[in-house]
Amino acid sequence: MKINLVLRFFNRLFPFLFVGSLLVFVSCSKKSSDQNPYPLVVGQRTFTLAEFRRNYELDPAFPGYVKGEQGLKEYAEALADRILAAKRADDEGIFDRPQIRRLLEYKRQTAAVHRLYEIEIEKRISVSEEELRQAYRRSAVRFSVKQIFAKSAESAQKYYRELRRGVPFDSVVVRAENEGQMKAQDAELGDVGWGDLDEALESVIFNLPLGQYSEPVKSFLGYHILTVTDLKKDIMLTESEFLRKQSSLRKKLKARKAGSLANEYVKKLMEPSDVRIKANAFRAVTEALGLGSDQPKKTFFRRQKFLSDGKLREAEKRLANQFNKPFMLSKREQWTIKDFLDILGQMPPEARPSVRSIAAFRDEIGILIRNRFLLKEAKKRGLDKGSAIDSTIAAFKGDYAYNFYLQEYFTYVPIPEDVKNYYAAKKAKKKITRLPPKSILPGMRREEDYRFYYAARKLHRDLMSLFPDVAVRINDDLLRCEARRVDWENPIRMFVVERQGGF
């Protein structure tokens, strides 16, 4: 009876709620389109509402510590700060430094390859209504999953045979950990659903009965034996919820289709060239880099993320008498060892092939060769030039300069004594009875969070003072309306991982 009364009340109230929200929407639309239809204008640079939304929706750090209209305003200020930071870096000659010029040229090349990707892959992808609805139905199911991971098919089959003999799943997990196949934290995949895992793993999970285990499944990481320990289904599937999730579902479906289309395109482009790497030359390079099999535990690179300029120069000295040996052969072009080292030298250190192991180095050389083929194709079509590429480079310069200056400010931002004491007590896990200082905003869990936020605010003020002649106009009315459409408590996180180039 009580539920019926509530529903009856809601049904009577709903038309008024709808009309009220419609009036708010109309007033927002009218007010924001009267004089300045743009949320942000910085000098000659204009951000459309669609562009502004794309920025904050794709930003994994959004929302920050401040929410609502003020949060959007600070986000707009941060976008303006990137433009002003790039201007300051230009004035100070930072972009003229050799290592930065090399980085900018590399970014131009990767942007050209991405343009090729957009033309050959992205624009050819379509997602049907039925595919969206099927994805929505699947996204309503969540699984708790555990796994046994193995690096080789042989080890995976061994663990599978043990399970078939009746050995408990957790006992086999421990054995795989002890044998160095996986780490303890890798056993729990946690709460997963549609779009969270490799498609091969996902397909198995959706068809695996509760409590049973799968046969070994191959992914790009290795081999997995999976078991579902629990599952939850959202039985309230509504049209309004489907419409709300439609955009994110479409993006995930497009990303999946893009992978197979990209593989087909690369195969078609490269297969006629018959690319081969000379084994003896590869061995010489890996030994010169300290990746020889006789010193796997002493290698410098186990403590280093990438191949530094210094280590590359050392390798060049060791290989000087082998420069003319062929390294890569194909029907289109050939590289000597010297050519290969020169190509590495033109790349930023962090974009070079991984030197953590011989296998990783070999795999990423394959990616490097593929990307060089793609870059040649992009240049042949003139995709390394034009306004789209210039905009990409301008955005990168803004990000680079902003983070460059922010790092300086982060180091020197003053920390009040009460803030220091609060974080020190928290770090020591002492019982805190008082409220945190007012300057500590919700979400500032560490002193580093506090430093970052106030360093960014100080940088904003200084950049505005440094360039008073650059007009920065923020449309407060438009941001006020925009703030109403953002789900501040449960934002959709669309993480974007920037690839080092290629598909």
Would you list the DSSP string of 307-350?
Answer: --HHHHHHHHHHTGGGTTSEEEE-SS-EEEHHHHHHHHHHS-GG
Domain count, the chain: 2
* Alpha carbon distance 217, 180 (integer Å): 19
281 in the same domain as 229:
no
What is the residue range of 320's domain? 274-380
Continuous segment of H or E residues that includes residue 149: strand 141-150
Tell whether 226 is covered by a domain.
yes
Residue 158's beta-bridge partner residues? Answer: none
225 in the same domain as 281:
no
Tell whether 354 is covered by a domain.
yes
Using a 10 angstrom Cβ sphere, with 0-12 exposed, 13-18 middle and 19 or more buried, the burial of residue 423 is buried
Tell whether 182 is covered by a domain.
yes
Residue 285 near residue 338, CB atoms below 8 Å: no
> DSSP string covering 346-377, please?
HS-GGGSPP-S-HHHHHHHHHHHHHHHHHHHH
Domain containing 182 — which CATH number?
3.10.50.40
Q: What pLDDT, on a 0 to 100 scale, did the predictor assign at position 491?
A: 58
The residue whose two tokens read 């052969």 is: 329
Residue 217 near residue 199, CB atoms below 8 Å: no
Tens place of pLDDT for every residue, the chain, 503 residues?
433 433 343 344 334 333 343 334 445 655 444 455 899 999 999 999 999 988 888 787 888 888 889 999 999 999 999 999 999 999 999 999 999 999 999 999 999 999 999 899 888 888 899 999 988 888 888 889 999 999 889 999 999 999 999 999 999 999 999 988 888 888 888 888 888 888 888 889 888 999 899 999 998 888 999 999 998 887 778 888 888 888 888 888 888 888 888 888 999 999 999 999 999 999 999 999 988 653 444 433 344 567 899 999 999 999 999 999 999 999 988 999 999 999 999 999 989 998 888 888 998 999 999 999 999 999 999 999 998 899 999 999 999 999 999 999 999 999 999 999 999 988 888 877 788 999 999 889 999 999 999 999 999 999 999 999 999 999 999 999 998 888 777 655 443 333 333 33
* Alpha carbon distance 265, 263 (integer Å): 5
Q: What pLDDT, on a 0 to 100 scale, did the predictor assign at position 244?
A: 82
Q: What pLDDT, on a 0 to 100 scale, did the predictor assign at position 292?
A: 60
Supply the pTM of this predicted model: 0.69
Q: What pLDDT, on a 0 to 100 scale, did the predictor assign at position 304?
A: 52
Q: Which of 331, 348, 380 is the last residue of a domain?
A: 380
301 in the same domain as 214:
no
> Strand 276-277 and strand 223-233: pairing?
unpaired
- What backbone phi and psi angles, to 5 degrees, belong to 146? -120, 160
340 in the same domain as 280:
yes
Using a 10 angstrom Cβ sphere, with 0-12 exposed, 13-18 middle and 19 or more buried, the burial of residue 298 is exposed
Q: Which of 356, 380, 404 is the last residue of a domain?
A: 380
227 in the same domain as 280:
no
Contacts of 273 (CB under 8 A, 6+ apart): 330, 331, 332, 373
Give the residue among 117, 113, 114, 97 at the shortest CA–CA distance from 348: 97
Tell whether 59 is covered by a domain.
no
Tell whether 260 is covered by a domain.
no
Tell whether 124 is covered by a domain.
no
Tell whether 419 is covered by a domain.
no
Q: Is 275 in a helix, a strand, or coil?
A: coil
